Chains A and B, each alone.
Chain A
Amino acid sequence: MEMLSKIFVEPFADMVAAPDFLMQVIWEGLVSGVLYALIALGFVLIFRSSRIFNFAQGIMVVFAALTLVGLHAMGIPAWVSVALTLVVMFIIAVAIERIVLRPLVGQPDIILFMATIGITLFLVGTGETIFGGENKVMITSELGIPTGDVVLEPFGGFLLLQHLDITVVISAALLVCALLVFLGKTQMGRAIRALGDDHQAALSVGISLQTIWVLVWFVSGIIALVTGIAWGARAGVSFALEIIAFKALPVLMLGGLESITGAIIGGLAIGVLEKMFEIYWGQPLLGGNTEVWFAYVLALGVLLFRPQGLFGEKIIERV
């Protein structure tokens, strides 16, 4: 009885008793969730237009962050470093298309997936050679990202919001909006969606695979940079960052590999739910540290009932 109460009653009683703390927990979860969503978006873009499950998404985040910090360390002003990092991400996109994707056109999906593992290893090696393996500090203040905090008093309680987190959430929201407008209202965006929808038809209206692939890898590169700055500002820049990409996996299982809405909602949901679980169930009952595995269990649970994910379309082989 006592156990059941600890699982089914007390956590909710705690939430009601301290709504300000609940809001704090949700907010923290949301901030992580935003970053999971961004990484998942990068995956979805590439998957939709090329059927490639991009294992390299995580290392792209690290590589972008390392490049930014490294360039700044060479004495280049912060925002110029950002611009140069974007140039580097563009060059990487072109190189991946030329050297890896183009020769592998028409190969089975698994080969292309293996190729992205190759890209990962290459970026890890290159990154370590150029920038070294040790931890670095993100150039947060140099980029003008505020570091203070604000305190709100909802329900007469106490809610602390880091300026950094607010900036992350707003920038991510702006990036997602820009992306949606790009995909929905521009010809290039239509071309990307078209290619994801019907390959043959896309070719017949003059869409070049190569151009679109470079474009989606570059857009993922941009997303990777934003994610890298945000995450790096909270946790430092190191190759350990790569593991946040693994959080994108349950997000994709939840949201579906092809749905942009799914990636966003799935990311936010996992961020919030894993935080809530940790605080209200994990720490009191399981000794904490449940954030490492909770998302996977949740996603597996969902997969049992909806194999296509919450937002995925029917699973059909493409012809």
Chain B
Amino acid sequence: MNDMSPESYVTADGRTIGNVVMDMRDITLKFGGVTAIKDISFDIREGEIRAIIGPNGAGKSSMLNVISGFYTPQIGEIWYRGKKRPPMKPYQVARQGIARTFQNIALFEGMTVLDNVMTGRLTHMNASVISQALWWGKAQAEEIENREKVEKVIDFLEIQNIRKTPVGRLPYGLKKRVELARALAADPQILLLDEPMAGMNVEEKEDMSRFILDVNDEFGTTIVLIEHDMGVVMDLSDRVVVMDYGKKIGDGAPDDVRNNQAVIDAYLGVSH
């Protein structure tokens, strides 16, 4: 089914792309009469930046929601690290090391930036509820460890100066960055980003692109990215899935996809 060999390879810019880590098989997702995803299969390789593109309403966000457990497909299988994944709730998927951001920013508006990013560490909570409540020392040790990790992420994304600001007061671009910080704090193996650059100005887009590349490069994080800006997609991604009306109409390296007639038609046929 895959047009690429199962072995790992090294990209032109020297990053190692590993084996298939997640395999989506024949996924179909319906909402009442609307079929948001029609029988789509594709895979995600360890360490790659995998883009999903397509016109509005193509089903991109729905696909991300399927991966992160927010939607359960009626048909199809998800294979994660060689095992078929049973139907899972979003929090269970999160605890498997899959973090995400949302197309419409979903932050805890009443909490500070620091607290928001700290919630990213919830997937790593070892001490159970009860022992947290009863055993103050253990909870404290965990708190300190979490804080260290979170401060690193905050430094990495250059948001030190707004650490104590309630998120509700931040401008849009910074909110997007805080959301990324929260996802990164989880130390995810796969990072799902739903239009991380939507609504940003050129400079903010450049910053965000750089952060995404750095995350992938420095931590080897696998990234699945939905993006409308074709320039960005071509620059960042290793492979691209193209969706249109819930169907997959293209899959491959950015250059191949760009020259694919079906893709060109889909984009010309839809106004943006």
Chain B nearest CB from A103 CB (Å) reads 15
Shortest A267–chain B CB gap in Å is 21
List 22 interface pairs A-B (beta carbons < 8 Å), by A numbering: A186-B139, A187-B121, A187-B139, A187-B146, A190-B111, A190-B115, A190-B122, A197-B108, A201-B102, A201-B106, A203-B70, A203-B90, A203-B91, A204-B68, A204-B90, A204-B106, A205-B99, A205-B119, A205-B123, A207-B122, A208-B89, A208-B91
Contacts A187-B121, A214-B129 supplied; 13 other A-B pairs, CB < 8 Å: A185-B143, A186-B132, A187-B146, A188-B129, A190-B122, A198-B108, A198-B109, A200-B106, A204-B94, A204-B99, A204-B102, A211-B129, A215-B129
B186 contacts partner chain A, Cβ-Cβ < 8 Å:
yes
A198 to B110 Cα, complex, angstroms: 10
Q: Which 10 pairs show the lowest CB-CB distances between chains A and B?
A: A206-B94, A206-B123, A201-B106, A203-B90, A197-B108, A208-B91, A206-B91, A205-B119, A194-B108, A200-B106
Answer yes or no: A193 CB below 8 A from chain B CBs: yes
Are B102 and A205 in touch, CB under 8 angstroms? Answer: no
Complex interface residues of chain B between 111 and 159 (CB less than 8 A to chain A)? 111, 115, 118-123, 125, 129, 132-133, 139, 142-143, 146
Whether the Cβ atoms of A198 and B119 lie closer than 8 Å is no
**Bound-complex Cα distance A139 to B95 (A):** 46
User: Taking the complex as formed, is A101 at the interface, i.e. its CB lies under 8 A from any CB of chain B?
Assistant: no
Asked whether A138 is an interface residue with its Cβ less than 8 Å from the other chain, the reply is no
The 8 Å CB contact of A187, one of B90, B102, B143, is B143
Question: Which chain B residues numbered 178 to 207 have a C-beta less than 8 Å away from chain A?
Answer: 182, 186
A193 to B: closest C-beta gap in Å: 6
For residue A185, which residues in chain B have a CB less than 8 angstroms away from its CB? 143
Decide: A188 and B182 in contact? CB cutoff 8 A.
no
Complex Cα gap A181–B118 (Å): 15
Say whether B177 faces chain A, with CB atoms less than 8 Å apart. Answer: no
User: Interface size class for chain A?
Assistant: 20 to 34
Give the secondary structure class of B's interface: helix
**Which residues of B are found within 8 Å of A203, using beta-carbon distances?**
70, 89-91, 94
| Chain A facing B: main interface SS | helix
The answer to whether B143 and A186 have CB atoms under 8 Å apart is: yes
Which chain A residues border B68 with CB–CB below 8 Å?
204
Interface hits, B72-112 → A, CB 8 Å: 89-91, 94-95, 99-100, 102, 106-111
Shortest Cβ gap from A88 to chain B (Å): 15
Distance of A185 from chain B, by nearest CB (Å) = 7
B interface residue numbers (CB < 8 A to A): 68, 70, 89-91, 94-95, 99-100, 102, 106-111, 115, 118-123, 125, 129, 132-133, 139, 142-143, 146, 182, 186
CA–CA, A85 and B138, complex, Å: 25
Question: CB distance A201 to B108 under 8 Å?
Answer: yes
Against B, the Cβ 8 Å flags (1 = close, 0 = not) of A17-53 are 0000000000000000000000000000000000000
Q: Which residue, of B125, B143, B182, has the highest number of chain A Cβ atoms within 10 A?
A: B125
When the two chains form their complex, are residues A193 and B111 in contact, meaning their CB atoms are under 8 A apart? yes
Instruction: Known A186-B132, A211-B129; judge A206-B122 contact (CB<8 A).
Output: yes
Contacts of A182 in B (CB 8 A): 133
Residues of B within 8 A of A206 (CB): 91, 94-95, 122-123, 186
CB < 8 Å A-B pair total? 88
A208 to B120, CA, bound (A): 13
Nearest B residue (CB) for A258: B110
Chain A, Cβ-Cβ closest to B96: A206
Instruction: Compute how far the CA of A248 lies from the CA of B238 in the bound complex, rounded to whole angstroms.
Output: 59
Among B102, B122, B123, B182, point to the contact of A200 (Cβ < 8 A).
Answer: B102
Residues in chain B near residue A215, CB distance under 8 A: 129
Residues in chain A near residue B186, CB distance under 8 A: 205-206
Asked whether A188 lies within 8 Å of B133 as measured between CB atoms, the reply is yes
Asked whether B129 lies within 8 Å of A190 as measured between CB atoms, the reply is: no
Residue numbers in A under 8 Å from B70 (CB-CB)? 200, 203-204
**Closest-CB distance, B153 to chain A (whole angstroms):** 13
Question: Within the assembled complex, what's the spacing in Å between the Cα atoms of A202 and B182?
Answer: 11
- Judged by a CB distance under 8 angstroms, whether A223 is at the interface is no
Question: Within the assembled complex, what's the spacing in Å between the Cα atoms of A16 and B182?
Answer: 56
Q: In this assembly, does A56 line the interface, its C-beta being within 8 Å of a C-beta of chain B?
A: no
Contacts of A187 in B (CB 8 A): 118-119, 121-122, 125, 132, 139, 142-143, 146
Given contacts A185-B143, A186-B139, A187-B125, contact A207 B91 (CB under 8 A): yes
What CA separation (Å) do A190 and B143 show in the bound complex?
11
* Smallest Cβ-Cβ distance to B94: which chain A residue: A206
For the complex, give the distance between the alpha carbons of A209 and B146 in Å: 22
CA distance A190 to B121 in the complex (A): 10
For B139, list chain A residues within 8 Å (CB). 186-187
Query: 8 Å CB contacts to B: which residues of A167-196?
Result: 182, 185-188, 190-191, 193-194
A223 nearest CB across to chain B (Å): 14
Contact assessment for A194 and B102 in the assembled complex, using a CB-CB cutoff below 8 Å: no
Residue of B nearest to A214 (CB): B129
* Min CB gap B210→A, angstroms: 24
